[in-house]
Amino acid sequence: AAGKLWGGRFTGGQDPIMTQYNESIYFDRVFYSQDIRGSIAYARANKNNKLLTEHEFSEIERGFKQILQEWQDNTFKIQPGVDEDIHTANERRLGEIIGKDIAGKLHTGRSRNDQVATDMRLWLRDQLDTLEGYLVDFLKVIAARAEKDIEHVMPGYTHLQRAQPIRWSHWMLMYGSFFASDLQRLRELKARVNKSPLGCGALAGNPFNIDREAIAKELGFDGLIMNSMAGVSDRDFVVETLQWGSTLMMHFSRWAEDLIIYSSGEFAFVKLADAYSTGSSLMPQKKNPDSLELIRGKAGRAFGHMTGLMMSVKGIPSTYNKDLQESVEPLLDHVKTVGDSTQIATGVLSTLAIQPDAMLRSLTPDMLATDLADYLVRKGVPFRETHHISGQCVALAEKENTPMDKLSFEQLQGIDARFEKDVLGVFDYQKSVEMRSAKGGTSKSAVMEQIEAVKKALAGQ
């Protein structure tokens, strides 16, 4: 331990298992470029404070440029047992390149506590930009397909029982609404991630009056985490990312579940492209929706990381404690899960073949029982009464073992004399969906308006 960055006060060695247990280099190495950017910005601020000479600063910058190149070329050699984390590794290497006398000045007033928080925020900020791009692509496919497939009518369900006819696009735009909110939440989250904790020191702040604003500006942060203790102990930006992504995955999971059901032989509303399906090793006829099942399964994994991290954070006393290192791996995994899932979802949806005939075949006249009740409402009968009358028609059709639309006009009149000849016009699915033209409904004009709303959400309006 005497050879470690922090080894001054240590005389005994470290248990080798402890060394491994403690080290994070094998996952936090992904932050190598952020760590270097942060260090250069920090050194520049110290140069401006006259803690570093021009020459010392340019040496530090030169050293880091070489280290960056080494990481990029995959020639950086991690020293097992020595390079505890990315910060230690980069600083060790800097000393080798420019000499320890100058490299040893870099960390003045800084702590790995503000350093790691900075690295993570810089990294996450860029990742969230990428995830936003994926989500925007997915929403564009939703909007485009909703428009293209607007003619097709299918059963809408409650309790997974046939309820009322809807446009296929209306189903699609329900998810459009969910995912548009996810996009909005992501944009709000990004603003909270993109704040600078650099210059907070270990916890109490910087004693050399470092210009934190200048550092933040150089790093492209939009302001500071002001309180230095908050700066080093805050992992809310990670928790919130996991919460956001979990909500997104929850929506993807429901969406996937719908499509898994709709792709079953019993429904056959949709056919998944081969590109997103797999076969069975035993049953030659099988084509399974594995892509959708993985999305549904990975939602569970996302929620696990979210609750796991909240559990880890909830009992931590202020300020930095090593528990916080446990926020890194879930974050890395989460960002990959969400990014992969969104891209797969986009692929599935853009290649999905819909089977409008099967959708039509699944519509049954009793799904128009509400429309039959509404017909009498338009003749001035109170809805509670019409509901009952329509229910009697459903019962009669069931008793006669005939589809409801095949009941004769006389049979309908036998139930209620207020039925007139035009009642037979009720049994028309297209008419039924077109009736629902109030905002948010399933008529064509109402669906078109929803498509516009999704497009507006994409533009951040």
Any contact of residue 343 with ligand ARG (CB under 6 A)? no
Any contact of residue 85 with ligand ARG (CB under 6 A)? yes
Spatial neighbors of 147 by CB under 8 A, at least 6 apart, are: 169, 448, 451
Any contact of residue 228 with ligand ARG (CB under 6 A)? no
Any contact of residue 337 with ligand ARG (CB under 6 A)? no
Select which of 33, 253, 263, 280 is catalytic: 280
Nearest distance from C-beta of residue 292 to ligand ARG, angstroms = 35
Question: Could you give the CA distance from residue 37 to residue 28 in angstroms, rounded to a whole number?
Answer: 15
Nearer to ligand ARG among residue 309 and residue 457 (C-beta)? 309
Nearer to ligand ARG among residue 241 and residue 386 (C-beta)? 241
Active site residue 159: yes
Active site residue 305: no
Nearest distance from C-beta of residue 449 to ligand ARG, angstroms = 48
Quick check: 390 and 372 in contact, CB under 8 A?
yes
Show the 3-state SS of 198-242: CCCCCCCCCCCCCCHHHHHHHCCCCCECCCHHHHHHCCHHHHHHH
End-to-end C-alpha distance for the chain, whole angstroms: 56
- What number of helices (H) and strands (E) belong to the chain? 19, 4
Nearer to ligand ARG among residue 22 and residue 408 (C-beta)? 22
Quick check: 192 and 240 in contact, CB under 8 A?
yes
Nearest distance from C-beta of residue 111 to ligand ARG, angstroms = 7
Segment lying near ligand ARG (by CB under 6 A), choices 124-132, 190-198, 235-243, 317-325: 317-325
Quick check: 287 and 279 in contact, CB under 8 A?
yes
Residue selected from 48, 277, 325, 343 as contacting ligand ARG according to rule CB under 6 A: 325
Any contact of residue 24 with ligand ARG (CB under 6 A)? yes
- Positions 105 through 164 that interact with ligand ARG (CB under 6 A): 112-113, 116
Contact string (CB under 6 A) for ligand ARG, positions 25-64, x = contact: ---x------------------------------------
Question: Could you give the CA distance from residue 256 to residue 424 in angstroms, rounded to a whole number?
Answer: 38
CA angle 86, 84, 204 (to 5 degrees): 75
Nearest distance from C-beta of residue 224 to ligand ARG, angstroms = 20
Any contact of residue 232 with ligand ARG (CB under 6 A)? no
Segment lying near ligand ARG (by CB under 6 A), choices 53-61, 74-82, 321-329, 388-396: 321-329
Spatial neighbors of 83 by CB under 8 A, at least 6 apart, are: 23, 25, 89, 92
Which DSSP state fits 156? E
Select which of 39, 55, 107, 159 is catalytic: 159
Instruction: Give me the DSSP letters along 402-446.
Output: S-GGGS-HHHHHHH-TT--GGGGGG--HHHHHHH--STTSSSHHH
Closest CA to 222 of 243, 245, 198, 193: 193
Nearest distance from C-beta of residue 117 to ligand ARG, angstroms = 8
Nearer to ligand ARG among residue 36 and residue 451 (C-beta)? 36
Nearest distance from C-beta of residue 232 to ligand ARG, angstroms = 9
Nearer to ligand ARG among residue 25 and residue 373 (C-beta)? 25
Nearer to ligand ARG among residue 112 and residue 436 (C-beta)? 112
Determine if the peptide bond prior to 319 is cis (ω within 30°): yes
* Other beta carbons within 10 Å of 410: 8
Nearer to ligand ARG among residue 112 and residue 195 (C-beta)? 112
Catalytic residues: 159, 280
> Contact residues for ligand ARG (CB under 6 A)?
24, 28, 85, 112-113, 116, 320, 322, 324-325, 328
